[in-house]
Chain A
Amino acid sequence: MSTRTITIEVLRYRPEQDQEPFFQSYTVPCDEDWVVLDALNYIKDELDRTLSYRWSCHMFVCGSCGIVVDGEPKLGCKAFVKDYGDKIRVEPLGNFPIERDLVVVIDDFIEKLESVNPYLIPKEEKSIDDGEYLQTPAQLKAFKQYSMCINCLLCYSACPQYGLDPSFVGPAALALAHRYNMDSRDVGRKAREDVVASHEGIWECSFVGACSQVCPKDVDPAGAIQQTKITSAIDYVTSFLPGGNR
Protein backbone atom coordinates (compact mmCIF):
# COMPACT_ATOMS: atom_id res chain seq x y z
CA MET A 1 0.00 0.00 0.00
CA SER A 2 1.40 3.38 -0.93
CA THR A 3 1.98 6.07 1.64
CA ARG A 4 2.01 9.83 1.26
CA THR A 5 3.74 12.23 3.60
CA ILE A 6 1.26 14.78 4.82
CA THR A 7 1.78 17.75 7.09
CA ILE A 8 -0.95 17.77 9.71
CA GLU A 9 -1.37 21.17 11.34
CA VAL A 10 -3.21 20.77 14.61
CA LEU A 11 -4.63 23.61 16.66
CA ARG A 12 -3.25 22.98 20.10
CA TYR A 13 -4.23 24.43 23.45
CA ARG A 14 -2.76 23.25 26.73
CA PRO A 15 -4.62 25.20 29.41
CA GLU A 16 -1.90 24.86 32.05
CA GLN A 17 0.75 26.55 29.89
CA ASP A 18 -0.86 28.31 26.88
CA GLN A 19 -2.62 31.67 26.92
CA GLU A 20 -4.19 30.94 23.55
CA PRO A 21 -4.29 28.16 20.94
CA PHE A 22 -1.54 27.81 18.33
CA PHE A 23 -0.92 25.55 15.33
CA GLN A 24 1.61 22.75 15.62
CA SER A 25 2.75 20.83 12.53
CA TYR A 26 3.42 17.12 12.40
CA THR A 27 4.81 15.19 9.46
CA VAL A 28 2.83 12.00 9.08
CA PRO A 29 3.36 9.13 6.59
CA CYS A 30 -0.26 8.38 5.73
CA ASP A 31 -1.46 5.18 4.08
CA GLU A 32 -3.71 5.92 1.11
CA ASP A 33 -6.81 4.53 2.82
CA TRP A 34 -6.31 6.46 6.06
CA VAL A 35 -8.77 8.87 7.55
CA VAL A 36 -7.68 11.97 9.46
CA LEU A 37 -8.36 10.14 12.72
CA ASP A 38 -5.72 7.55 11.73
CA ALA A 39 -3.25 10.38 11.26
CA LEU A 40 -4.11 11.76 14.72
CA ASN A 41 -3.65 8.29 16.20
CA TYR A 42 -0.25 8.07 14.49
CA ILE A 43 0.76 11.40 16.00
CA LYS A 44 -0.39 10.26 19.44
CA ASP A 45 1.32 6.86 19.20
CA GLU A 46 4.53 7.82 17.44
CA LEU A 47 5.21 11.55 17.63
CA ASP A 48 3.56 13.35 20.52
CA ARG A 49 1.82 11.67 23.41
CA THR A 50 0.51 14.98 24.76
CA LEU A 51 -2.00 15.52 21.93
CA SER A 52 -5.61 15.27 23.16
CA TYR A 53 -8.67 14.42 21.08
CA ARG A 54 -11.80 12.33 21.42
CA TRP A 55 -12.63 9.19 19.52
CA SER A 56 -14.11 5.80 20.10
CA CYS A 57 -15.66 3.69 17.33
CA HIS A 58 -13.79 4.71 14.14
CA MET A 59 -16.94 3.88 12.12
CA PHE A 60 -19.28 6.94 12.13
CA VAL A 61 -21.40 5.61 14.98
CA CYS A 62 -20.21 7.07 18.28
CA GLY A 63 -20.10 10.71 17.24
CA SER A 64 -17.06 11.53 19.39
CA CYS A 65 -14.41 12.46 16.82
CA GLY A 66 -15.98 15.65 15.45
CA ILE A 67 -13.25 18.08 14.33
CA VAL A 68 -12.82 20.82 11.75
CA VAL A 69 -10.72 19.67 8.78
CA ASP A 70 -9.55 22.41 6.41
CA GLY A 71 -12.35 24.66 7.65
CA GLU A 72 -15.10 22.07 7.35
CA PRO A 73 -16.73 20.27 10.31
CA LYS A 74 -16.10 16.54 9.83
CA LEU A 75 -15.97 13.27 11.67
CA GLY A 76 -12.27 12.43 11.93
CA CYS A 77 -13.13 8.85 10.98
CA LYS A 78 -15.00 9.90 7.84
CA ALA A 79 -12.51 12.43 6.44
CA PHE A 80 -10.26 10.45 4.09
CA VAL A 81 -6.76 11.88 3.66
CA LYS A 82 -6.85 11.04 -0.07
CA ASP A 83 -9.44 13.80 -0.46
CA TYR A 84 -7.02 16.42 0.88
CA GLY A 85 -3.76 18.00 -0.21
CA ASP A 86 -0.31 17.59 1.31
CA LYS A 87 -1.17 19.87 4.19
CA ILE A 88 -4.26 19.29 6.31
CA ARG A 89 -5.38 21.73 8.97
CA VAL A 90 -7.17 20.19 11.95
CA GLU A 91 -9.04 22.30 14.51
CA PRO A 92 -11.49 21.62 17.31
CA LEU A 93 -15.21 22.06 16.55
CA GLY A 94 -16.18 25.71 16.23
CA ASN A 95 -18.64 27.51 18.53
CA PHE A 96 -17.60 25.48 21.61
CA PRO A 97 -14.99 26.43 24.22
CA ILE A 98 -11.75 24.47 23.87
CA GLU A 99 -11.00 22.29 26.88
CA ARG A 100 -7.66 21.04 25.53
CA ASP A 101 -6.31 20.65 21.99
CA LEU A 102 -9.15 19.12 19.92
CA VAL A 103 -11.38 18.44 22.93
CA VAL A 104 -14.24 20.91 23.34
CA VAL A 105 -16.64 21.59 26.21
CA ILE A 106 -20.08 20.37 25.20
CA ASP A 107 -22.00 20.92 28.47
CA ASP A 108 -24.14 23.59 26.82
CA PHE A 109 -25.37 21.12 24.21
CA ILE A 110 -26.13 18.45 26.79
CA GLU A 111 -28.28 20.92 28.74
CA LYS A 112 -30.13 21.90 25.58
CA LEU A 113 -30.65 18.30 24.59
CA GLU A 114 -32.19 17.56 27.99
CA SER A 115 -34.40 20.64 27.76
CA VAL A 116 -36.38 19.28 24.79
CA ASN A 117 -37.48 16.06 26.57
CA PRO A 118 -35.82 13.81 23.99
CA TYR A 119 -37.63 10.62 24.87
CA LEU A 120 -40.95 8.98 24.12
CA ILE A 121 -43.86 10.45 26.05
CA PRO A 122 -46.69 7.97 25.44
CA LYS A 123 -50.36 8.76 25.96
CA GLU A 124 -50.55 6.19 28.72
CA GLU A 125 -47.76 4.19 30.27
CA LYS A 126 -48.04 0.48 29.57
CA SER A 127 -46.45 -2.23 31.64
CA ILE A 128 -44.00 -4.51 29.87
CA ASP A 129 -46.59 -7.31 30.16
CA ASP A 130 -48.96 -5.28 27.97
CA GLY A 131 -46.52 -5.61 25.07
CA GLU A 132 -45.00 -3.13 22.62
CA TYR A 133 -46.33 0.17 21.36
CA LEU A 134 -47.10 -0.89 17.81
CA GLN A 135 -46.22 1.15 14.75
CA THR A 136 -46.57 0.67 10.99
CA PRO A 137 -43.53 0.95 8.66
CA ALA A 138 -45.00 4.19 7.28
CA GLN A 139 -45.28 5.65 10.79
CA LEU A 140 -41.67 4.69 11.42
CA LYS A 141 -40.60 6.29 8.17
CA ALA A 142 -42.12 9.63 9.23
CA PHE A 143 -39.40 10.20 11.86
CA LYS A 144 -36.67 7.67 11.16
CA GLN A 145 -34.33 10.12 9.45
CA TYR A 146 -34.32 12.37 12.54
CA SER A 147 -33.51 9.46 14.82
CA MET A 148 -30.16 8.84 13.11
CA CYS A 149 -28.41 11.65 15.01
CA ILE A 150 -25.20 10.60 16.78
CA ASN A 151 -24.73 13.87 18.72
CA CYS A 152 -21.47 14.59 16.93
CA LEU A 153 -22.15 18.35 17.01
CA LEU A 154 -20.82 19.06 13.52
CA CYS A 155 -24.07 20.94 12.98
CA TYR A 156 -23.46 23.25 15.95
CA SER A 157 -19.96 23.89 14.68
CA ALA A 158 -21.34 24.91 11.27
CA CYS A 159 -24.26 26.98 12.57
CA PRO A 160 -23.48 30.73 12.53
CA GLN A 161 -26.66 31.41 14.48
CA TYR A 162 -25.38 29.34 17.39
CA GLY A 163 -21.99 31.06 17.11
CA LEU A 164 -23.58 34.51 17.24
CA ASP A 165 -26.14 33.70 19.90
CA PRO A 166 -25.29 30.70 22.09
CA SER A 167 -28.75 30.80 23.69
CA PHE A 168 -30.05 29.19 20.47
CA VAL A 169 -31.23 25.64 21.25
CA GLY A 170 -29.56 24.59 18.02
CA PRO A 171 -29.92 22.05 15.19
CA ALA A 172 -29.45 18.59 16.73
CA ALA A 173 -31.58 19.23 19.83
CA LEU A 174 -34.42 20.69 17.74
CA ALA A 175 -34.15 17.84 15.22
CA LEU A 176 -34.45 15.34 18.03
CA ALA A 177 -37.49 17.15 19.44
CA HIS A 178 -38.99 16.87 15.94
CA ARG A 179 -38.10 13.18 15.85
CA TYR A 180 -40.29 12.54 18.92
CA ASN A 181 -43.02 14.95 17.83
CA MET A 182 -43.33 13.01 14.57
CA ASP A 183 -43.53 9.65 16.34
CA SER A 184 -47.04 8.18 16.25
CA ARG A 185 -46.53 6.72 19.75
CA ASP A 186 -45.68 10.10 21.27
CA VAL A 187 -47.96 12.80 22.68
CA GLY A 188 -45.25 15.04 24.15
CA ARG A 189 -45.41 17.94 21.68
CA LYS A 190 -47.02 20.27 24.24
CA ALA A 191 -44.37 19.38 26.81
CA ARG A 192 -41.59 20.27 24.35
CA GLU A 193 -43.27 23.38 23.01
CA ASP A 194 -42.03 25.86 25.65
CA VAL A 195 -38.44 25.28 24.58
CA VAL A 196 -38.92 24.31 20.95
CA ALA A 197 -41.34 27.06 19.86
CA SER A 198 -39.62 29.81 21.86
CA HIS A 199 -37.50 32.60 20.47
CA GLU A 200 -34.33 30.67 21.38
CA GLY A 201 -35.85 27.62 19.72
CA ILE A 202 -36.99 27.29 16.12
CA TRP A 203 -37.57 31.02 15.62
CA GLU A 204 -33.90 31.80 16.18
CA CYS A 205 -33.06 29.75 13.08
CA SER A 206 -32.66 31.81 9.90
CA PHE A 207 -32.30 28.71 7.68
CA VAL A 208 -28.69 29.10 6.66
CA GLY A 209 -28.88 25.35 6.13
CA ALA A 210 -25.22 24.71 7.06
CA CYS A 211 -26.19 22.10 9.68
CA SER A 212 -27.78 19.83 7.09
CA GLN A 213 -24.88 20.25 4.70
CA VAL A 214 -22.31 19.04 7.23
CA CYS A 215 -24.38 16.36 8.98
CA PRO A 216 -22.63 12.99 8.48
CA LYS A 217 -25.86 11.05 9.06
CA ASP A 218 -28.16 12.99 6.67
CA VAL A 219 -30.40 13.97 9.55
CA ASP A 220 -31.34 17.30 7.92
CA PRO A 221 -31.82 19.32 11.10
CA ALA A 222 -32.56 22.45 9.03
CA GLY A 223 -35.50 20.65 7.42
CA ALA A 224 -36.73 19.46 10.82
CA ILE A 225 -36.64 23.03 12.15
CA GLN A 226 -38.52 24.49 9.16
CA GLN A 227 -41.18 21.77 9.44
CA THR A 228 -41.55 22.55 13.13
CA LYS A 229 -41.93 26.25 12.29
CA ILE A 230 -44.81 25.41 9.94
CA THR A 231 -46.58 23.23 12.55
CA SER A 232 -46.02 25.86 15.22
CA ALA A 233 -47.37 28.65 13.00
CA ILE A 234 -50.46 26.58 12.18
CA ASP A 235 -50.93 25.94 15.93
CA TYR A 236 -50.75 29.67 16.58
CA VAL A 237 -53.32 30.56 13.92
CA THR A 238 -55.75 27.78 14.85
CA SER A 239 -55.56 28.82 18.50
CA PHE A 240 -57.57 31.91 17.52
CA LEU A 241 -60.31 29.89 15.82
CA PRO A 242 -63.48 28.84 17.66
CA GLY A 243 -62.53 26.05 20.03
CA GLY A 244 -58.92 27.32 20.13
CA ASN A 245 -57.23 28.18 23.39
CA ARG A 246 -56.90 31.93 22.93
Chain B
Amino acid sequence: MSRKPYVRQMSKTSWFLTHSRYKHYILHEVTCIFIAIYAVILIFGLFRLGQGPEAWQGWLDGLRSPLGVIFQILAFGFAMIHTWSWFKVVPQAMRIQRGESFVPGNLIIGAHYGVLAIISLFVLILAGVA
Protein backbone atom coordinates (compact mmCIF):
# COMPACT_ATOMS: atom_id res chain seq x y z
CA MET B 1 0.00 0.00 0.00
CA SER B 2 1.36 3.42 -0.85
CA ARG B 3 2.12 5.81 1.94
CA LYS B 4 0.70 9.31 2.22
CA PRO B 5 2.19 11.04 5.28
CA TYR B 6 0.36 14.20 6.30
CA VAL B 7 2.48 17.24 7.10
CA ARG B 8 1.06 19.87 9.47
CA GLN B 9 2.60 23.23 8.75
CA MET B 10 3.69 25.45 11.61
CA SER B 11 2.65 29.07 11.18
CA LYS B 12 5.79 31.15 10.62
CA THR B 13 4.15 34.28 12.00
CA SER B 14 2.04 33.12 14.95
CA TRP B 15 3.69 29.92 16.26
CA PHE B 16 4.72 31.68 19.47
CA LEU B 17 1.09 32.24 20.41
CA THR B 18 0.42 28.49 20.57
CA HIS B 19 1.95 27.85 24.01
CA SER B 20 2.73 29.90 27.11
CA ARG B 21 6.38 28.81 27.09
CA TYR B 22 6.77 30.27 23.60
CA LYS B 23 5.16 33.51 24.76
CA HIS B 24 7.71 33.72 27.58
CA TYR B 25 10.48 33.16 25.08
CA ILE B 26 9.22 35.93 22.80
CA LEU B 27 8.83 38.30 25.77
CA HIS B 28 12.43 37.57 26.69
CA GLU B 29 13.56 38.24 23.10
CA VAL B 30 11.49 41.43 22.75
CA THR B 31 12.93 42.94 25.93
CA CYS B 32 16.36 43.13 24.28
CA ILE B 33 15.00 45.64 21.74
CA PHE B 34 14.54 48.18 24.57
CA ILE B 35 18.02 47.43 25.86
CA ALA B 36 19.42 47.98 22.36
CA ILE B 37 17.57 51.31 21.98
CA TYR B 38 18.85 52.41 25.39
CA ALA B 39 22.40 51.49 24.38
CA VAL B 40 22.04 53.57 21.19
CA ILE B 41 20.81 56.53 23.28
CA LEU B 42 23.86 56.24 25.56
CA ILE B 43 26.25 56.13 22.60
CA PHE B 44 24.47 59.12 21.12
CA GLY B 45 25.06 60.87 24.47
CA LEU B 46 28.81 60.32 24.11
CA PHE B 47 28.62 61.79 20.64
CA ARG B 48 26.75 64.88 21.96
CA LEU B 49 29.32 65.24 24.75
CA GLY B 50 32.00 65.48 22.07
CA GLN B 51 30.05 68.31 20.43
CA GLY B 52 30.30 70.59 23.45
CA PRO B 53 28.44 71.63 26.62
CA GLU B 54 25.27 72.83 24.91
CA ALA B 55 24.78 69.68 22.90
CA TRP B 56 25.39 67.64 26.04
CA GLN B 57 22.86 69.69 28.01
CA GLY B 58 20.33 69.19 25.25
CA TRP B 59 20.83 65.42 25.46
CA LEU B 60 20.43 65.52 29.26
CA ASP B 61 17.25 67.59 28.96
CA GLY B 62 15.91 65.05 26.48
CA LEU B 63 16.44 62.27 29.00
CA ARG B 64 14.70 64.32 31.71
CA SER B 65 11.69 65.12 29.53
CA PRO B 66 8.49 63.17 30.37
CA LEU B 67 8.93 61.01 27.28
CA GLY B 68 12.56 60.34 28.20
CA VAL B 69 11.62 59.36 31.74
CA ILE B 70 8.80 57.08 30.59
CA PHE B 71 11.13 55.36 28.14
CA GLN B 72 13.80 54.85 30.80
CA ILE B 73 11.32 53.36 33.25
CA LEU B 74 10.08 50.99 30.54
CA ALA B 75 13.62 50.10 29.48
CA PHE B 76 14.59 49.47 33.11
CA GLY B 77 11.61 47.16 33.62
CA PHE B 78 12.40 45.23 30.46
CA ALA B 79 16.08 45.05 31.39
CA MET B 80 15.04 43.46 34.69
CA ILE B 81 12.87 40.89 32.90
CA HIS B 82 15.73 40.18 30.51
CA THR B 83 18.18 39.75 33.38
CA TRP B 84 15.82 37.48 35.31
CA SER B 85 15.05 35.29 32.30
CA TRP B 86 18.71 34.91 31.33
CA PHE B 87 20.08 34.34 34.84
CA LYS B 88 17.39 31.70 35.36
CA VAL B 89 18.89 29.50 32.62
CA VAL B 90 22.58 30.14 33.27
CA PRO B 91 23.05 26.89 35.26
CA GLN B 92 22.04 24.93 32.16
CA ALA B 93 24.85 26.45 30.11
CA MET B 94 27.32 26.61 32.98
CA ARG B 95 27.72 23.27 34.70
CA ILE B 96 30.47 23.31 37.27
CA GLN B 97 31.48 19.86 38.41
CA ARG B 98 33.23 19.32 41.74
CA GLY B 99 34.17 15.68 42.11
CA GLU B 100 31.03 13.65 41.71
CA SER B 101 28.57 16.50 42.17
CA PHE B 102 27.67 19.76 40.50
CA VAL B 103 27.64 23.22 42.05
CA PRO B 104 23.92 23.87 42.77
CA GLY B 105 22.17 25.98 40.14
CA ASN B 106 20.82 28.44 42.71
CA LEU B 107 24.35 29.22 43.87
CA ILE B 108 25.40 30.03 40.29
CA ILE B 109 22.32 32.21 39.79
CA GLY B 110 22.91 33.91 43.16
CA ALA B 111 26.53 34.63 42.24
CA HIS B 112 25.33 36.31 39.04
CA TYR B 113 22.95 38.56 40.98
CA GLY B 114 25.77 39.29 43.43
CA VAL B 115 28.11 40.43 40.66
CA LEU B 116 25.28 42.46 39.09
CA ALA B 117 24.68 44.20 42.45
CA ILE B 118 28.38 44.99 42.93
CA ILE B 119 28.78 46.42 39.42
CA SER B 120 25.55 48.44 39.77
CA LEU B 121 26.72 49.85 43.09
CA PHE B 122 30.08 50.74 41.56
CA VAL B 123 28.37 52.56 38.68
CA LEU B 124 26.04 54.42 41.08
CA ILE B 125 29.01 55.53 43.21
CA LEU B 126 30.86 56.61 40.06
CA ALA B 127 27.81 58.61 39.02
CA GLY B 128 27.70 60.24 42.46
CA VAL B 129 24.22 58.87 43.21
CA ALA B 130 25.11 56.47 46.02
Contact between A227 and B93 (Cβ–Cβ < 8 Å)? yes
Q: A-B contact count, CB below 8 Å?
A: 71
Which of A21, A105, A208 has the largest number of chain B CB atoms within 10 A? A208
Give Cα A213 to B10, complex, Å: 20
Rounded to whole Å, the gap between the CB of A154 and the closest CB of chain B is: 13
Contact between B6 and A15 (Cβ–Cβ < 8 Å)? yes
Contact between B15 and A97 (Cβ–Cβ < 8 Å)? no
Give Cα A98 to B9, complex, Å: 12
What are 21 A-B contacts defined by CB distance under 8 Å?
A13-B6, A15-B3, A16-B1, A97-B6, A97-B7, A98-B5, A98-B8, A105-B5, A137-B100, A141-B100, A160-B22, A163-B10, A164-B10, A208-B21, A209-B21, A212-B92, A220-B92, A222-B89, A226-B93, A229-B93, A230-B93
Return the chain B residue nearest A91 by Cβ. Answer: B8
Return the chain B residue nearest A141 by Cβ. Answer: B100
- Tell me if B65 is interfacial: C-beta within 8 Å of chain A: no
- Tell me if B99 is interfacial: C-beta within 8 Å of chain A: yes
Give Cα A14 to B15, complex, Å: 26
How many residues of chain A have a CB within 8 Å of chain B? 33
- Tell me if A118 is interfacial: C-beta within 8 Å of chain B: no
Q: Do A164 and B12 form a contact, CB below 8 Å, given A138-B97, A141-B100, A210-B21?
A: yes
Give Cα A208 to B16, complex, Å: 11
Task: State which of B6, B10, B22, B97 has its C-beta within 8 Å of the C-beta of A95.
Answer: B10
Task: State which of A94, A142, A230 has its C-beta within 8 Å of the C-beta of B8.
Answer: A94
A21-B6, A208-B25, A210-B19 known, 18 other contacts, Cβ within 8 Å? A15-B4, A16-B4, A20-B6, A94-B10, A95-B10, A98-B6, A98-B7, A99-B5, A138-B97, A138-B99, A160-B22, A209-B89, A210-B21, A210-B25, A223-B93, A226-B92, A226-B93, A227-B95
Contact surface of B with A, Cβ cutoff 8 Å: 1, 3-8, 10, 12, 15-16, 18-19, 21-22, 25, 89, 91-93, 95, 97, 99-101
Contact between A160 and B7 (Cβ–Cβ < 8 Å)? no
Contact between B92 and A99 (Cβ–Cβ < 8 Å)? no
Give Cα A208 to B6, complex, Å: 26
Contact between A223 and B4 (Cβ–Cβ < 8 Å)? no
Rounded to whole Å, the gap between the CB of A204 and the closest CB of chain B is: 15
Q: Do A164 and B92 form a contact, CB below 8 Å, given A99-B3, A105-B5, A141-B97?
A: no
Contact surface of A with B, Cβ cutoff 8 Å: 13, 15-16, 20-21, 71, 94-95, 97-99, 105, 137-138, 141-142, 158, 160, 163-164, 207-210, 212-213, 220, 222-223, 226-227, 229-230
Contact between A160 and B10 (Cβ–Cβ < 8 Å)? yes
Give Cα A220 to B10, complex, Å: 24
Give Cα A141 to B101, complex, Å: 8
Give Cα A99 to B6, complex, Å: 7
Rounded to whole Å, the gap between the CB of A148 and the closest CB of chain B is: 15
